[in-house]
Chains A and B, each alone.
Chain A
């Protein structure tokens, strides 16, 4: 049987720049190929060019889709192919569905384009498609807008939307990115069902661990080129290219604490701190914390202890109350009940003026640090402001300290005159860490600090956090939805579900022998390589 997709030396250029550079692969029915790469690798452009939607200048030695020569296809022919024989699942279900239209009509649009079915017939088919992806109450849900559905329902709708035309090729463009592990498992399960039903599946992802579960073959992309391609087993276990090895090394799950995920810092080995003795006073004690917003109980009776020099990983799905917990710990929200103590001192609930002297002991790092920087400040000013406790933003006397901070987080001190907006995501996060370190805090609250970063960048930032903890003995409250990151970074783990902590304990215990039903379901859904 001839392949459904045949691509030989495909290049896509934008204004003279090649986003995709001589890429070759093929894909047959019942097969799953994964294109893996980080942002800017050209994987999404490749995917879109398979639908004639790259928007750039496409050239190829051979480029055939379902046996048709795609280099010579008219727009009309493309339209007949899209959503009919080749379908696409886009990344973010909230963004990929028009917020102003009922989801049922979004799905039916493909039928409108490709069939002559009457309206009731279309409605019936949409219902069937929604039932096929196990959407509860499809007849009612299809009349709702995407923003009225939960994340899981939206994801199912998005898959139904791609499946309605009964396509032979399905392209999933980062369809699992930014989903928590149970939703990821749901999408993967749906894609597996497609593959088993004889469809060709092209997965676009940045996550090797995820595609490993489904892909027959993997092609690793970097800067527009495929640097390595082969059977899944070979790419994962006997990687040939250095970049593939970097990506594999960067996967945190199963890597013991403090073992580097990247090769980047050849810094002199720091004398590792003695493991914290439990006799010492805990850095952070949280007891019976609750907070409701209106009728919605965001956090209910959460309690945990962060030991000095250790990391507590707080893990849970989006909406589980992790961020509210972080805000309560930081004293940004007033708890309804419970208390937060910092080195034995009462921190929350407390009047701001009375706890301000404690603030230098606790710092925070967010998922998207840019919003927490004053947009008028450049890097140097930002750090000077932090070092001088807000009294100066230019003081020359702080210059050496600023440089030292930047070096501490492995940033080039020459970046001092840049605006944070000009920095890359990884650099921004390093800057946020540098700023948080300025007052030499003893506790850092890290709310999804690496969730917006590419895997290899994530690895270097995690390594940096590890190193800093060893050097300074700072305690971390590390919040993430990503189980593998939590597993790698934490000494103890607390699992949060619907506002409550359902299980906590030493990392090895929780991950090795989960007691709570919810933890178990999370762990089964978690993709693992090691």
Chain B
């Protein structure tokens, strides 16, 4: 267990280091003055003093390797610099916007899981025609872009029916539409996966063996089917979470929610490199943590499989 944890932490550090290095190279690849690039690109018209300050802060007059080491040293101290656009330390901004995004992503993940479990269960009982409809719904759900689904949901439930607000008003109701926007496409993916593994599990020899022990169809579903349906979907959690973070950029824009995605978008629009760097590193960190957590859960469900 300890060895596993050590391997995970080591792997995470390598990944973070590679992301940081890629960003460092990326910044240096921007044509023109790197100081200008850091301060928002050629169009930013940063003052000469600001450029000079940036040069000395980032050590741009030093040799490249020294710059690189300085950059890494700062990152190790969690010093991501100051946001050029917001004038606040990057770390502080991220600390503010990370929680709402993570909350949104986690609730959406849970909702997607719940929806796909229900769909997968319904599909088990469905007739042939019903399965065809289910299949079509899944594919369409998986093909719906977040930005369009968000708009359609606002149109339906906010403008026309008035059930849920389009903009968060502090109550839980404001979360419903953003969560649905994120969860529905993901549920489309997960349902397909769960249905496949569920029908494999329920058609397997061990399911038959369970029936010969006198278990009812329903008991077999709960005791055996669910576990086997959950495992491959669980293995996809890392990917799912990552796609939710992608979706959050769009959803936060549509529903005017504060969060990591929205901050990233405005940072990109103003070419605020320190902010962009910080957010990229943090989202990589989030992905790594989620991956490690799912792996830990997989080991709980399937200790034998995790070892091989």
- Whether A and B touch (Cβ < 8 Å) is answered with yes
Residues on A lying within 8 angstroms of B by beta carbon are 48, 51, 53, 75, 79-84, 87-88, 90-92, 95-101, 106, 109-110, 113-114, 144-145, 147-148, 161-162, 165
**Do the beta carbons of A83 and B205 come within 8 Å of each other?**
no
Q: Shortest beta-carbon distance, A151 to chain B, in Å?
A: 15
**Do the beta carbons of B206 and A98 come within 8 Å of each other?**
yes
Contact A99:B304 (CB < 8 A) given known A90-B205, A109-B223 = yes
Bound: A53/B224 CA distance, A: 18
Bound: A88/B205 CA distance, A: 12
Bound: A79/B223 CA distance, A: 16
In the complex, B303 has a CB within 8 A of chain A: yes
Q: Which residues of B contact A165 (CB under 8 A)?
A: 213-214
**Do the beta carbons of A145 and B212 come within 8 Å of each other?**
no
Of the candidates A83, A87, A145, A162, the one whose C-beta lies within 8 Å of that of B303 is A145
In the complex, B86 has a CB within 8 A of chain A: no
**Do the beta carbons of A114 and B214 come within 8 Å of each other?**
yes
Q: Which residues of A contact B210 (CB under 8 A)?
A: 98, 106, 109
**Do the beta carbons of B212 and A51 come within 8 Å of each other?**
yes
In the complex, B231 has a CB within 8 A of chain A: yes
In the complex, B47 has a CB within 8 A of chain A: no
**Do the beta carbons of A100 and B213 come within 8 Å of each other?**
no
Q: Please give me the residue from chain A that is nearest to B302 by CB atom.
A: A100
Q: Which residues of A contact B214 (CB under 8 A)?
A: 79-84, 110, 113-114, 165
Contact A90:B304 (CB < 8 A) given known A79-B215, A109-B215 = no
Contact A99:B305 (CB < 8 A) given known A90-B205, A90-B208, A91-B205 = yes
**Do the beta carbons of B204 and A95 come within 8 Å of each other?**
yes
**Do the beta carbons of A97 and B206 come within 8 Å of each other?**
yes
Q: Which residues of B contact A90 (CB under 8 A)?
A: 205, 208-209, 212
Q: Which residues of B contact A82 (CB under 8 A)?
A: 211-214
- Cβ contacts B208-236/A at 8 Å (1 or 0 each): 11111111100100011001100100000
Q: Shortest beta-carbon distance, B64 to chain A, in Å?
A: 43
**Interchain residue pairs A-B with the least CB separation, the first 6:** A83-B213, A95-B205, A83-B214, A82-B214, A88-B212, A110-B213
Q: Which residues of B contact A79 (CB under 8 A)?
A: 214-216
In the complex, B110 has a CB within 8 A of chain A: no
**Do the beta carbons of B209 and A53 come within 8 Å of each other?**
no
In the complex, B53 has a CB within 8 A of chain A: no
**Do the beta carbons of B206 and A53 come within 8 Å of each other?**
no
Bound: A90/B212 CA distance, A: 9
Q: Shortest beta-carbon distance, B216 to chain A, in Å?
A: 6
Bound: A211/B160 CA distance, A: 73
**Do the beta carbons of B212 and A92 come within 8 Å of each other?**
no
B interface secondary structure, majority: helix
Q: Shortest beta-carbon distance, B299 to chain A, in Å?
A: 12
Most A CB contacts (10 A, CB to CB) among B210, B213, B216, B301 go to: B213
Q: Please give me the residue from chain B that is nearest to A110 by CB atom.
A: B213
Q: Which residues of B contact A144 (CB under 8 A)?
A: 304
**Do the beta carbons of A100 and B212 come within 8 Å of each other?**
no
Q: Shortest beta-carbon distance, A162 to chain B, in Å?
A: 8
Bound: A251/B40 CA distance, A: 83
**Do the beta carbons of A147 and B305 come within 8 Å of each other?**
yes
Q: Shortest beta-carbon distance, B127 to chain A, in Å?
A: 16
Q: Would you list which residues of chain B between 214 and 268 have a CB under 8 Å from chain A?
A: 214-216, 219, 223-224, 227-228, 231
**21 cross-chain CB contacts under 8 A:** A51-B211, A53-B208, A53-B212, A81-B214, A82-B211, A82-B212, A83-B214, A91-B205, A96-B205, A100-B305, A101-B223, A101-B227, A106-B209, A106-B210, A109-B213, A109-B223, A110-B213, A113-B213, A145-B304, A147-B304, A161-B213
Q: Shortest beta-carbon distance, B222 to chain A, in Å?
A: 11
Bound: A114/B211 CA distance, A: 13
**Do the beta carbons of B205 and A113 come within 8 Å of each other?**
no
Q: Please give me the residue from chain A that is nearest to B204 by CB atom.
A: A95
Bound: A90/B227 CA distance, A: 22
Bound: A91/B224 CA distance, A: 19
Bound: A145/B211 CA distance, A: 19
Bound: A101/B226 CA distance, A: 12
Q: Would you list which residues of chain B between 189 and 216 have a CB under 8 Å from chain A?
A: 204-206, 208-216
Bound: A95/B135 CA distance, A: 29
**Do the beta carbons of B302 and A113 come within 8 Å of each other?**
no
**Do the beta carbons of B206 and A96 come within 8 Å of each other?**
yes
Bound: A81/B215 CA distance, A: 10
Bound: A343/B224 CA distance, A: 55
Bound: A123/B22 CA distance, A: 56
Q: Which residues of A contact B205 (CB under 8 A)?
A: 90-92, 95-96
Bound: A69/B213 CA distance, A: 20
Bound: A530/B231 CA distance, A: 50
Q: Please give me the residue from chain A that is nearest to B230 by CB atom.
A: A100
Bound: A81/B303 CA distance, A: 33
Q: Shortest beta-carbon distance, B118 to chain A, in Å?
A: 22
Bound: A145/B216 CA distance, A: 23
Bound: A148/B303 CA distance, A: 9
Q: Which residues of A contact B204 (CB under 8 A)?
A: 95
Bound: A17/B88 CA distance, A: 76
Q: A88-B209, A91-B205, A109-B215 are in contact. List 12 more A-B contacts (CB 8 A).
A: A51-B211, A51-B212, A53-B208, A83-B214, A90-B212, A95-B206, A99-B305, A106-B209, A106-B210, A114-B214, A161-B213, A165-B213
Q: Which residues of A contact B211 (CB under 8 A)?
A: 51, 53, 82
Q: Shortest beta-carbon distance, A158 to chain B, in Å?
A: 8
Q: Please give me the residue from chain A that is nearest to B216 by CB atom.
A: A79
Bound: A265/B222 CA distance, A: 54
Q: Please give me the residue from chain B that is nearest to A76 by CB atom.
A: B216
Q: Which residues of A contact B209 (CB under 8 A)?
A: 88, 90, 96-97, 106, 161
Contact A98:B224 (CB < 8 A) given known A91-B205, A147-B305, A148-B304 = yes
Bound: A493/B240 CA distance, A: 56
Bound: A99/B227 CA distance, A: 10
Q: Please give me the residue from chain A that is nearest to B224 by CB atom.
A: A98
Q: Would you list which residues of chain B between 288 and 308 have a CB under 8 Å from chain A?
A: 301-305
Bound: A500/B205 CA distance, A: 35
Q: Shortest beta-carbon distance, B201 to chain A, in Å?
A: 8
Bound: A188/B219 CA distance, A: 32
Q: Please give me the residue from chain A that is nearest to B206 by CB atom.
A: A98
Bound: A97/B212 CA distance, A: 12
Q: Please give me the residue from chain A that is nearest to B212 by CB atom.
A: A88
Q: Would you list which residues of chain B between 176 and 198 have a CB under 8 Å from chain A?
A: none
Q: Shortest beta-carbon distance, B164 to chain A, in Å?
A: 39
Q: Shortest beta-carbon distance, B295 to chain A, in Å?
A: 16
Bound: A88/B212 CA distance, A: 6
